[in-house]
Structure 1
Amino acid sequence: MEQNTKIEKKRLLSLDFFRGLTIAVMILVNTPGDGDHVYAPLEHSKWNGCTPTDLVFPFFLFMVGVSIVYALESKKALQANHTGIMWHTLRRMLILIGLGLSIFLFYRPDFAHLRFPGVLQRIGIVYFIATLTYLKTSERTRDWLTVIILVSYYLIMYYIPVPDGHAANLTPEYNLAAWVDRAVFSTNHMYRFTKQWDPVGLLSTWPAIATALFGIRIGTILKNNNIQVNEKCVKLFLIGIAAIVLGLITDLFFPINKSLWTSSYVLYTGGICTVGLTAAFWLIDVKGYKKYAWIMVVFGVNAISAYILSEIVPGLINFLKIPHNGHHIMGMKYLYRAVFLPLVSPVNASLLAACVFVALIWGMMYILYKRKIVIKI
């Protein structure tokens, strides 16, 4: 990791704010006090459908695309820089994949059952492919590529029979994406709670690339200084609303599904993210309502660091085994039962514990923010 001791002055504040808000929600939904007592909107959909929680991951990938534009636009025109940028991008991808695998081993040091797919792994792969695509293609080509990805994925999932003898289908265990994951990784190296399929598997990474390309498209509009601000915001709102509507229409024949990352899911979540980011841009960067934006910017400027800490800290706390009612329980569960549960109902205690944990990680990130430190991978 690289440590940049000075936060860049020309960052898009609304992007940092929106990314920070996304990370805060990600931490909130990932660390409830008790996973058996969670409000429905803070859980993932069981299969088809989309809860607020299902928006978090595509929002982050979408903003990866937007960030690529802001990071590389000035360098793209200089062909001589491309080789260095591509090597740097490859290095970042490998670091993200390594971090994802390391987090798994931190909790379960078992190489025989090491889970290969994961959140950071997908972010790394999508970031690498999206960056190379941005460097080497035109805007028009990227638009067509996004369409090709979404249409081809639909055709692949609906019309290619599964090699194990099943007809093309979208059931959890027997669809083509699940078969590919089993064939490539084997069940020993997939998500152990689903066993037969992985929610961030290999084939579903293909449409996830379209989410980042959607973000690149929006980023090019945001960064375009030749468009008047009012016109820019109207254009972005219309794109976002059109994508939401198109996603809902596509849902009628290719259901919105996070685990499969269906084409309708790409459109629907990309549209919502466009509307949300545009609203943040209008309020913060255009209208200047910046007074409290820093609260989420604390997460936004060190998003990956915040996510990694949120994954590791619970494990460190759980190393403590604390006596409770005649049993020894792990630290996180003890805090929920001994500190939060006596105060409110189980579901509210679970939410309160999650909020306190978000505040804990925020405090760690605040130290970096105050010292103007951005940790870059």
Structure 2
Amino acid sequence: MASSPLLNQTTNRVLSLDFFRGLTVAAMILVNNPGDWAHIYAPLEHAEWNGCTPTDLIFPFFLFIVGVSIVYAMGSRKVDPTQHGKLILKALKRAFILFALGLFLSLYPKIFTNPMEALAHVRIPGVLQRIAVVFFISAVLFIKCSEKTLFRLMILLLAGYWVLMNFVPVPGIGEPNMEKETSLAAWLDRSILSEAHLWKLSKTWDPEGILSTIPAIASGLFGILVGTHLKRRDLDAATKVAWLFSTGCLAVFLGLAWGLQFPINKSLWTSSFVLYTGGLATLMLSICYWIIDIQQYNRFTKPFVVYGVNAITVFFLSGLIPRTLGMFSVTDSNGEEVGLQSWLYSGFSENLSPVNASLAWAVSFVLFWLMILWFMYAKRIIIKV
């Protein structure tokens, strides 16, 4: 087979990693933008609490990919201790930008119409904010620690979080528990951030809260450990894939077993959830690596690669569109004033069943961004955050 035209060896990019990242981001945009939140196919919804749906895999997969990407972005410079300061400063700058972009999404568009109200009730945690924290801490640990130390730290984070959630009494409530509003994680979010700055749909806890960021860092370290093995030059491709596949299966098994006592739960980002999703991500990456980079079956990859190379950019901009559409209204055929997004969506809802119309809108949104990203890729426009 001919070598892939999409894999640029000089830039140290792994095509399967860009594909996996792009697939994950496209899925994230799909599930975040249904036409009607009241009508969604079950696999495209998060689990009500305990459990794991395909949608619940998306965010941990992305944090895992962040970890793998750290290895490829910083691995060659890590060996030189004189470069550590520059690497950490660069990571801090990127983390600050990511966190600021997340806050902007929380503030937009109210920050332009009622800035004081927006600041008083802005949600401080969020997806980009968690990515920023996990990226920075994982990057610093990767730069300063050995592979064995990283593994021990990952285990310590998972075990420590298990101890906190299962054995530390909740102030003002009592016994340790894993309920939405009365867990230690919920109490800590309310105590430090206050209810005004938490997830607007609950205001008493946050799925990207403070305490649950501890095991989320472990998701990043999981990716670093896998990326470190994937990048090794002393192993042949078959051995790498066999090791990754075996590791993924073991992690899934351990996650399911631990989940019998410490339930798999995305909102709490439980330790069992980290192992289960990290194992599935490892399996997914090993399969992609074998098919795309080793066997060179890559003709199907480009739509997702174009998503992968501008992942943060498209995630941020796709979050702006619904918020921007909500600022405008139009007059419909009945002479009534309706929101611009509702008016656009009526073209789907009038011709399809509610759940199919909702899905069609989401798919159209993904395809809309695919056209833009394809153009950017063709023009070699890659916006690095």
In the aligned structure 2, how far is the partner of 1:243 from the partner of 1:309?
Answer: 34
Give 3-state SS (helix, strand or coil) of 1:376's partner.
Answer: coil
Equivalent residue of 2:330, what SS? strand
Q: Structure 2 CA distance, aligned partners of 1:320 and 1:273? A: 40
Which amino acid is the alignment partner of residue 97 of structure 2? I
2:342 to 327, 333, 344: 333
Q: Which amino acid aligns with 1:375?
A: I
Residues 134-143 or 316-325, more deviating: 316-325
Aligned to 1:355: 363
With over 3 angstroms needed to count, the CA separation of the structure-2 counterparts of 1:326 and 1:193, relative to structure 1, is: farther
Contact 1:190 1:198 in 2 (8 A): yes
Q: Which has the higher contact order (CA 8 A, sep 6+)?
A: 1
The CA deviation at 1:268 is: 0.5
Equivalent pair of 2:12/2:72 in contact (CA under 8 Å): no
Alignment correspondent of 2:124: 116
Deviation at 1:76, TM superposition (A): 0.6
Report the counterpart of residue 54 of structure 1 in structure 2.
56
Aligned pairs for 1:1-377 within 5 A: 9-109=11-111, 110-324=118-332, 325-337=334-346, 339-377=347-385
Q: Which residue type is aligned with residue 334 of structure 1?
A: W
Q: Which moved more, 1:91-100 or 1:104-113?
A: 104-113
Gaps of 5+ in 1: 1-5
Q: Distance in 1 between matches of 2:132 and 2:278?
A: 19
Unaligned runs of 5+ in 2: 1-7, 112-117
Stretches of 4+ aligned residues off by more than 3 angstroms? 6-9, 324-327
**Given that residues 309 and 361 in structure 1 are in contact (C-alpha distance below 8 angstroms), is that contact kept between their aligned partners in structure 2?**
no
Alpha-carbon contact 1:246-1:267 (below 8 Å) kept = yes
Instruction: Determine the C-alpha separation between the residues in 2 that align with 1:333 and 1:275.
Output: 40
Alpha-carbon distance between aligned partners in 1 of 2:202 and 2:336, rounded to the nearest angstrom:
29
Give the direction of change, closer, same or farther, for the CA distance of 1:76–1:259 in structure 2 (3 Å limit): same
Structure 2 length-normalised TM: 0.94
Separation (CA, whole Å) in 2 of partners of 1:43 and 1:177: 23
Report the Cα distance in structure 2 between the residues aligned to 1:206 and 1:148, rounded to whole angstroms. Answer: 10
Task: Name the SS of the counterpart of 1:86 in structure 2.
Answer: helix
Write the letter of the residue equivalent to 1:232: K
Q: Retained in 1: the 8 A contact 2:173–2:182?
A: no
Identity percentage over the alignment? 47
Distance 2:171 2:74 in 1: 42
Q: Using the TM superposition, give the Cα deviation of residue 336 of structure 1 relative to its aligned residue in structure 2, in angstroms.
A: 1.7
Q: Deviations over 1:320-343 (max 9, x none)?
A: 212234532222222222x11122
Separation in 2 of the partners of 1:289 and 1:327?
53
Instruction: Report the count of equivalent residues.
Output: 371
**Deviation digits for residues 314-368 of structure 1, max 9, x if unmatched?**
222233212234532222222222x111222110010000000111112221221
1:178–1:198 CA contact under 8 A, matched in 2: yes
